[in-house]
Chains A and B, each alone.
Chain A
Amino acid sequence: MRIEKCYFCSGPVYPGHGMMFVRNDCKVFRFCKSKCHKNFKKKRNPRKTRWTKAFRKAAGKELTVDNSLEFEKRRNIPMKYQRELWSKTVEAMKRVEEIKQKRQARFIMNRLKKGKQLEKEEAINEVKKNIHLIKAPHAGKAQKLEEKMVEKLQEDVEMGDD
């Protein structure tokens, strides 16, 4: 028994779920649900359908090159059964899964951080542009009046000197 990958969305296909299709060139396609199967029949390219993992990896939205992903690759060499190896492998699988989730999450967070920065800059620009909407009507007038008076006084002093 093996948990296969859906050809279209790359999701897990558990036993008892989904559909298998054998094409005349002897290539086998597994689908996790009829949504993927129907899209396949419509000849949609999974690398262009935005909700599939294939698109996300191809568009750089998800972690692609990582050591923790190497563990998922299929090995075609059968191993002789050893009890300790078996139990150790199960523990290792749990740990690798943990690490993989964390790395994937961090990758996505890093990708979205740039967006937060851009948002902040946008907000500042917007406030600067539309300051006239939120500034109080007589906000800077007192200061301006003061400056004017200072200027006038200075002029008077200069005139007085002359």
Chain B
Amino acid sequence: MALARRFGAALSKISGTQHCAFSVSAAVAAIQKMTRVRVVDNSTLGNTLYHRPPRVIHVYTKNGVGKVGDKVLLAIRGQKKKALIVGHKMPGDRMTPRFDSNNVVLIEENGNPTGTRIKVPIPWHLRKLEGDYSKLLAIAHRFV
């Protein structure tokens, strides 16, 4: 009896591996809704500790994927705040650096940065956003 049961279990396992019972979609990657991010400027909102890490709740692009230079909406300390992505873990364009964490800089509605200094290296190709985010580039210490 026990032998028959074991055979039956083995058979069902074999048939299970022949087709997937669940659906798989292609990876979205980079920064999307619900990703936890690291705030790299010296604003109080970004640097005070909270029991929940800051998360992305909306990405302002056509598809929901945020790359370097895209604006996102964060939920920090129970508030909503806009931010700019300055580096992600996913390998991006050729000749752009890859960072060890998903870095983000807090921003106001008009594009001005909330903090006063950015110590973390910022990718060089963000310089093309000279018009909108020139104040943000001005407070960056190091370009990489």
A and B held together in a complex: yes
- Is the beta-carbon distance between A22 and B95 smaller than 8 angstroms? no
Given contacts A16-B94, A28-B144, contact A22 B99 (CB under 8 A): yes
Which A residues lie within 8 Å of B94 (CB)?
16
Q: How large is the interface on A (under 10, 10 to 19, 20 to 34, 35 or more residues)?
A: 10 to 19
Which B residues lie within 8 Å of A26 (CB)?
119-121, 142
B80 CB within 8 Å of chain A: no
Q: How far is the CA of A42 from the CA of B101 in the complex (A)?
A: 18
Q: Scoring B residues 117 to 140 as 1 if CB is less than 8 Å from chain A, else 0, what string do you get?
A: 001110000000000000000000
- Is the beta-carbon distance between A21 and B100 smaller than 8 angstroms? yes
A6 to chain B, nearest CB (A): 15
- Is the beta-carbon distance between A20 and B100 smaller than 8 angstroms? no
Partner of A28, one of B95, B97, B101, B119: B97
Please report which residues of chain A, range 1-49, place their CB below 8 angstroms from some CB of chain B when the two chains form the complex: 15-16, 19-24, 26, 28
Please report which residues of chain B, range 74-103, place their CB below 8 angstroms from some CB of chain A when the two chains form the complex: 87, 91, 94-101
Which B residues lie within 8 Å of A15 (CB)?
95
Prevailing SS type, chain B contact patch = loop
Q: How large is the interface on B (under 10, 10 to 19, 20 to 34, 35 or more residues)?
A: 10 to 19
Which A residues lie within 8 Å of B120 (CB)?
26
B38 to chain A, nearest CB (A): 8
- Is the beta-carbon distance between B121 and A28 smaller than 8 angstroms? yes
B95 to chain A, nearest CB (A): 7
- Among A22, A23, A28, the one with the most B-chain Cβ atoms within 10 Å of its Cβ is A22
- Is the beta-carbon distance between B100 and A23 smaller than 8 angstroms? yes
Which B residues lie within 8 Å of A21 (CB)?
97-100
Q: Scoring A residues 35 to 76 as 1 if CB is less than 8 Å from chain B, else 0, what string do you get?
A: 000000000000000000000000000000000000000000
Q: How far is the CA of A26 from the CA of B38 in the complex (A)?
A: 14
Q: How far is the CA of A22 from the CA of B119 in the complex (A)?
A: 13
Closest chain B residue to A30, Cβ basis: B97
Q: How far is the CA of A13 from the CA of B144 in the complex (A)?
A: 15
Q: How far is the CA of A48 from the CA of B91 in the complex (A)?
A: 28
Which B residues lie within 8 Å of A23 (CB)?
100
Partner of A20, one of B101, B119, B142, B144: B144
Residues of A bordering B, CB below 8 Å: 15-16, 19-24, 26, 28
8 A-B residue pairs with CB within 8 Å: A16-B95, A19-B91, A19-B98, A21-B98, A22-B100, A22-B144, A24-B100, A26-B120
